[in-house]
Structure 1
Amino acid sequence: MKLNKIFLFLPVLLISIFTLVSCEDDSVDKASTPNDLVSFGDYPQVVGINSGETIQIEGKVYATTTTSSDRVINLQVISQSLYNDANPADQAVAITTANPDYFSVPATVTIPAGSREGVFQVSVTGLDLYDENGVNGKRIVIGIVPSTDYASNATYIGTHAVLPTDVEDFEVISDRMVLKIRENFLCSENHITVQIFTDGYGEETSWELYDADLVLIASGGPYATATPGGGETRDLCLADGHYVFVAYDAFGDGMNDGTNAGYYKLSKYDAEGTETVIAQNGTFATDETVEFDLP
């Protein structure tokens, strides 16, 4: 009788011991296996800054698991792209355009033990934020440096080799944080913005703005090829009066290529920054004209 009880008890004991050992092994693996996914938060982010002002912008990285020790994630500023260099007409990869003299990014960010979140600060000074065409706004693009200690989101752009003998013409784009830094626009008259959001054929899109005497006062485009969501936002300070805006599409199919819906948008902002949309559309043929009056 006692012998039977012992035989019945042994399998239960062995299962319990095996379970305890397995749980301990799992916890060790989770703490040491480089399968943790690390990524940035929701970007791009548009940040306004006064001319000459220095501000701190908070950035965050997130991990899928917690660990028992601090994790140090290496950061880098993305200032060039092999894909863009090989395809100058198709600037599909967002890179940093801001002057490095006026911003700084830490080399690392730490995710504390027991946490899934790490916080870092990007310092930016509001200088040299207009490009050669007078467009307000430049980018700071930050990437996570690849490591065997963690994984990061990645996609390929270009032609990925299928066989070892194929020519590899592609670029790996890891998870990136994109900051769009714009100088706050000061206007004592009518603050107007012209926003262009391109479809996949930005090179077909351009626009012009005329005053009441049909004198050209502003224009933009063509834009980058095959870059959906490209374009610009132009700030204008206009006196009271009558204006004529014309959007053009060189191919004659408007700003919707059938897959990507682009558009133009004219807006007016009051002193409190409240937006009033004057006109917005992307569905037209060769051109579309909008006439409006200020105030």
Structure 2
Amino acid sequence: MKTKNYLIPFSTFLLLAFSLLFVGCEDEVNDNNYLSSSFVSFSYDQTVAMPEGETEVVDVPVFASTPSSVDRTMDVYIDASSTLDPANYSAPSTVTIPAGSTQGNMQVVVTNSPNIGFGGATIVLGMTAQAGVDQPTTFSGSAEAGTLSVTTNLMTITAKTLCEDNQVVMEFTLDPWPEELYWWLLDETGTVVASIGTYALYANPYAGLASGTVVVEEICIPSGTYTLEIYDDYGDGGGPITVTSGGVTLFSTDGAFGSFTSVTFTL
């Protein structure tokens, strides 16, 4: 068997060695630069529940991955995915992490007036970076291990009305003639405690809503016995209706109730 000996000139070996060293050092510098970047992130989503008319101040902490010798101020914006009416809250336009610290704080003021509702609505906050200093992101893993993951960071505050009694949820699926539907809820004395609004023959408050729309009505009432009365002006019924409280179905109909149906329940 013949063998061949491959001889590499010493100068070529040195060139190859220095090339490998240069590439290795360049990769290491890039990793270190990436790892030393200062990331800024919100901490966690929050939920605030309050009675109608009350106001809550929500403390929102902001964290940085590394301290800095100077104050760092990030612009704060309201993301387009927010669903809460701007009339219900106020939020600062900036948040500052003081020099030498890795934590800053901002406050969002939420007011339950007009009534937010039991289902709740959201304020979604985002940050934009201070140029050349911080990246408003969440991150995990490391560049050295090849597992660094960086994503845009948003923070959600869910605000809703607090029901301290019994929450009753009524769902009305509208038929093509929603203006014919009317309902009210009576207590044991016959007093109206909730209703669709002002009655008007063939012009009731759901008028103008599209067929198939699901209207969700939420009320908060003390324990007791109640009667829900549902009317249809034309007398041909309407769409499906369900009434629940605490996950228990109190009433359900497919809508074939003619001109009138009712249910009495105790909470």
Output the TM-score relative to the length of structure 2: 0.51
Contact 2:230 2:262 in 1 (8 A): yes
Compute the displacement of 1:218 (Å): 0.9
Residue in 1 that maps onto 2:145 = none
Residue in 1 that maps onto 2:76 = 75
Alignment of 1:234 onto 2:235: no
CA distance in 2, matches of 1:15, 1:121: 52
Contact 2:174 2:238 in 1 (8 A): no
Q: Equivalent residue of 2:240, what SS?
A: coil
Alignment equivalent of 2:113, drawn from 129, 137, 150: 129
Q: 1:280 to 1:25 in 2, by over 3 A?
A: farther
* Structure 2: 5+ residue stretches without partners: 1-6, 138-152, 197-204
Compute the displacement of 1:29 (Å): 5.7
Alignment equivalent of 1:194, drawn from 168, 172, 180: 168
Contact 2:50 2:161 in 1 (8 A): yes
Q: 1:110 to 1:16 in 2, by over 3 A?
A: farther
Letter in 2 for 1:47: A
Compute the displacement of 1:211 (Å): 3.2
Structure 1 residues 143-193: Cα deviation after superposition (integer angstroms, max 9, x where no partner): 3366687578xxxxxxxxxxxxxxxxxxxxx956344253675xxxxx322
Residue in 2 that maps onto 1:244 = 227
Superposition RMSD in Å: 5.7
Q: Percent identity?
A: 19
Residue in 2 that maps onto 1:85 = none
Alignment of 1:266 onto 2:236: no
Residue in 2 that maps onto 1:24 = 29
Compute the displacement of 1:251 (Å): 9.2
Structure 1 residues 171-226: Cα deviation after superposition (integer angstroms, max 9, x where no partner): xxx956344253675xxxxx32223568899x969753123566533124749879
Residue in 2 that maps onto 1:292 = 265
Compute the displacement of 1:60 (Å): 5.0
CA distance in 2, matches of 1:232, 1:114: 51
Letter in 2 for 1:217: V
- Please identify the structure whose Cα radius of gyration is greater: 2
Output the TM-score relative to the length of structure 1: 0.48
Residue in 1 that maps onto 2:91 = 105
Letter in 2 for 1:143: L
Compute the displacement of 1:292 (Å): 1.2
Contact 2:67 2:102 in 1 (8 A): no
Q: 1:24 to 1:68 in 2, by over 3 A?
A: farther
CA distance in 2, matches of 1:231, 1:195: 7
CA distance in 2, matches of 1:22, 1:279: 63
* Structure 1: 5+ residue stretches without partners: 82-91, 153-173, 186-190, 256-262, 268-276
Contact 1:31 1:68 in 2 (8 A): no
Residue in 1 that maps onto 2:85 = 95
Q: 1:19 to 1:135 in 2, by over 3 A?
A: closer
CA distance in 2, matches of 1:225, 1:29: 53
CA distance in 1, matches of 2:231, 2:185: 12
